[in-house]
């Protein structure tokens, strides 16, 4: 990753658990990341080395804006019963308990989603499995400011 990254402290928050397949009220038969995996792979992005779920990171009170993510896949028809969705990904890093992890910001575009929307201060990351990470833990998130802009609100 580039050295001119923006670093910001984030807090790990519970998500909807639809991405990992752990949600009891999910409309999907498996986790969405697991189901989307072959579609992204066909488009040139291999997520198979990552945990099949997302890490929800709150930047509150700050928000973010996608500028020019490394990958954007438009109208991905990953489920036969639902409309196609647009997804963007941007490389990122996380430092947790003095260990660095590389992953991707995962951004399903809200205008194409059917539900399970995130608060505008939550970034979702796809990462390798991070041992002992829990809700409420503080992490250092590193992103490329040319791809994602952090909007620092007071």
Report the C-alpha gap between 8 and 14 in whole angstroms: 19
Confidence (pLDDT) at 114: 66
Categorize the per-residue pLDDT at 154 as very low, low, confident or very high, splitting at 50, 70 and 90: low
CATH of the domain at 95: 2.40.30.30
Of 46, 26, 22, which Cα lies nearest the Cα of 36?
46
Q: pLDDT (tens digit, 9 = 90+) per residue, 121-137?
A: 999 999 999 999 999 99
Q: Is 108 within a domain?
A: yes
Mean pLDDT of the chain: 89
pLDDT at 116 over 70: no
Of 13, 16, 33, which Cα lies nearest the Cα of 24?
16
Say if residue 78 is exposed, middle or buried (CB neighbours under 10 Å; 0-12, 13-18, 19+).
middle
Confidence (pLDDT) at 25: 65
Task: Say what the alpha-carbon torsion angle 120, 13, 19, 96 is, to the nearest 10 degrees.
Answer: 110
Range of the domain at 83: 6-151
Confidence (pLDDT) at 96: 98
Q: Is 1 within a domain?
A: no
Q: pLDDT (tens digit, 9 = 90+) per residue, 76-91?
A: 999 888 889 999 999 9
Report the C-alpha gap between 103 and 49 in whole angstroms: 10
Q: Is 43 within a domain?
A: yes
Q: Is 17 within a domain?
A: yes
Q: Number of folded domains in the chain?
A: 1
Q: Is 116 within a domain?
A: yes
Q: Is 122 within a domain?
A: yes
* Beta strand residue intervals within the chain, DSSP E: 6-13, 55-58, 63-66, 71-76, 85-96, 99-108, 122-126, 138-143, 148-151
Here the tokens at position 87 are 């997804």
Confidence (pLDDT) at 73: 97
């Amino acid at each position: 990753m580039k050295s001119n990254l923006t670093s910001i402290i984030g807090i790990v928050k519970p998500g909807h658990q639809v991405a990992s397949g752990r949600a009891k009220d999910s409309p999907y038969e498996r986790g969405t990341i697991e189901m989307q995996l072959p579609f992204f792979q066909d488009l040139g992005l291999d997520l198979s080395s990552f945990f099949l779920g997302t890490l929800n990171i709150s930047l509150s009170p700050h928000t973010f804006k996608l500028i020019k993510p490394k990958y954007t896949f438009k109208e991905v028809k990953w489920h036969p019963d639902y409309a196609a969705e647009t997804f963007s990904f941007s490389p990122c890093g996380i430092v947790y308990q003095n260990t660095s992890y590389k992953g991707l910001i995962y951004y399903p575009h809200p205008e194409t989603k059917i539900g399970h929307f995130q608060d505008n201060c939550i970034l979702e990351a796809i990462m390798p499995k991070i041992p002992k990470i829990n809700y409420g833990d503080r992490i250092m998130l590193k992103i490329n400011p040319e791809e994602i802009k952090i909007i620092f609100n007071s």
